[in-house]
Amino acid sequence: MSETRPVRMQHVENKKAPWTAADIPNLQGRTAIVTGASAGLGLETALRLAEHGARVILACRNADKAAAAAETIRRIVPDADLPLVELDLTSLKSVHRAAARLHDDFGQIDLLVNNAGTLSRERTVTEDGFETTFGTNHLGPFAFTGLLLDLLHAAPQARVVTVTSGVPAQKGTWLDLDDLAYERRTYKAYPAYAQSKQANASFAFELQRQLNGTGSRLISVLAHPGAAESDFAQNFGPAVAFLSRPSLRWVFRIVMQTVEMGALPSLRAATDPGVRGGDFYGPTGSTKGYPVPNAAGERTRDPELAAQLWTESERLTGVTYRFDQLDGEAD
């Protein structure tokens, strides 16, 4: 690994009017990948990117659901260019196959939105032996991004947007580098999820540190949606799933926001010309609001912890980031 460098502090928000999807610039000629684009926040993100002219690659585990999502988008954007790529983040074989296909079909990628995620209520493991929540939310995206690094570098001003949760803005430490697979600790769903989300943030900040000084114009940005009304609530158990049904969502409305609002931090991180590497976007409040720069907790921003996690992630996935090949600007 290269020498650890500090992440640039988030810039101060000067704009008075709230940022909305109407602020997305023209994305004609740009190619984006959205993982987990078949529903919820991923579908909304893909829709808005396509609406503003981007070719959007829908990278999803279920091909039928991806095709249905493409049809949903085309009902609003009839001429949308929506290639489908099968991607199962619980499987390194699938990650490698998806990356190989993208290399065959595209010369560059302008935007990668690592949106897909899960929460496993009971401890299970992936086919590669990873704890499922950590494998899906961190190790899969870590490997996928690393395998696409050259395609991202080939674009003039590419971005990697990592979607986390509100966890990194908190002061706690959930990452246990000695027990990432929850083999020693008693498995609890939320702490395991929080560990994976803190890993997302640590990865995003460390990716920017590694990019600093390489000459690449690729940047890494972090975003979190707050508490959005999506199907993801099904993962939190029957009680939350019941209350999150459309007919009862008014119960949570005081602390939750729509999927359209929840996607705005990712969309701003992905498209706002003022975004800089190492920025972190989330809602104005802890769970809802328009997207503004957020700050991560001290432990999440710890470069030593991030470097250790990075080394372990490379070891577990077998994917090594070749920053030494990013020694000049893309054409």
**Residue 14 pLDDT exceeds 80:** no
Query: Between 287 and 195, whose confidence is greater?
Result: 195
**Residue 15 pLDDT exceeds 60:** no
Q: How confident is the model at residue 171 (pLDDT cuts 50, 70, 90)?
A: confident
Residue 277 covered by a domain? yes
Q: What is the mean pLDDT of the chain?
A: 90
Neighbours of 315 (CB within 10 A): 10
d(CA 296, CA 221): 12
How many domains does one find in the chain?
Answer: 1
Q: How confident is the model at residue 161 (pLDDT cuts 50, 70, 90)?
A: very high
Predicted pLDDT of residue 256: 80
Q: How confident is the model at residue 239 (pLDDT cuts 50, 70, 90)?
A: very low
Predicted pLDDT of residue 4: 41
Give the residue-averaged pLDDT of 151-179.
93
Helix (H, G, I), strand (E, B) or coil at 228: strand
Residue 55 covered by a domain? yes
Q: In this structure, are residues 288 and 227 in contact, taking their beta carbons and an 8 Å threshold? A: yes
Give the residue-averaged pLDDT of 244-265.
74
Neighbours of 250 (CB within 10 A): 10
Phi, psi angles (nearest 5°) of residue 261: -75, -40
d(CA 318, CA 204): 19
Query: H-helix or E-strand containing 52?
Result: none
Predicted pLDDT of residue 230: 60
Predicted pLDDT of residue 2: 40
Residue 11 covered by a domain? no
Predicted pLDDT of residue 245: 57
Neighbouring residues of 186: CB distance < 8 A, sequence distance ≥ 6: none
Q: In this structure, are residues 145 and 207 in contact, taking their beta carbons and an 8 Å threshold? A: yes
Tell me which of 84-88, 271-275, 299-303 is least confident. 299-303
Give the residue-averaged pLDDT of 148-165.
97
Q: How confident is the model at residue 170 (pLDDT cuts 50, 70, 90)?
A: confident
Residue 83 covered by a domain? yes
Residue 124, both tokens:
């299970």
**Residue 174 pLDDT exceeds 80:** yes
Q: How confident is the model at residue 173 (pLDDT cuts 50, 70, 90)?
A: confident
Q: In this structure, are residues 21 and 289 in contact, taking their beta carbons and an 8 Å threshold? A: no
Predicted pLDDT of residue 227: 86
Predicted pLDDT of residue 54: 98
Residue 199 covered by a domain? yes
The one catalytic residue in 187, 190, 193, 281 is: 193
First to last CA, the chain: 26
Closest to 280 measured CA to CA, from 6, 17, 10: 10
Give the residue-averaged pLDDT of 157-170.
93
- C-alpha distance from residue 219 to each of 160, 162, 270, 295, 315 (Å): 6, 11, 10, 18, 24
Percentage of residues in the chain having pLDDT higher than 90: 79
Give the residue-averaged pLDDT of 48-76.
98
Cα 233 off chain centre by: 18
Closest to 32 measured CA to CA, from 146, 155, 198: 155
Residue 72 covered by a domain? yes
Residue 86 covered by a domain? yes
Q: How confident is the model at residue 251 (pLDDT cuts 50, 70, 90)?
A: low
Residue 48, both tokens:
């808005």
Give the residue-averaged pLDDT of 125-140.
98
The string of pLDDT tens digits covering residues 178-191 is: 999 999 999 999 99
Active site residue 187: no
Give the residue-averaged pLDDT of 234-245.
51
Predicted pLDDT of residue 169: 84
**Residue 234 pLDDT exceeds 80:** no
Residue range of the domain that includes 192: 21-230+258-316
Closest to 152 measured CA to CA, from 162, 144, 160: 160
Q: How confident is the model at residue 158 (pLDDT cuts 50, 70, 90)?
A: very high
Residue 196 covered by a domain? yes
- H helices then E strands: how many in the chain? 11, 8
Kindly report the CATH number assigned to the domain that includes residue 311. 3.40.50.720
Query: Between 218 and 173, whose confidence is greater?
Result: 218
The string of pLDDT tens digits covering residues 101-120 is: 999 999 999 999 999 999 99
Give the residue-averaged pLDDT of 58-79.
98
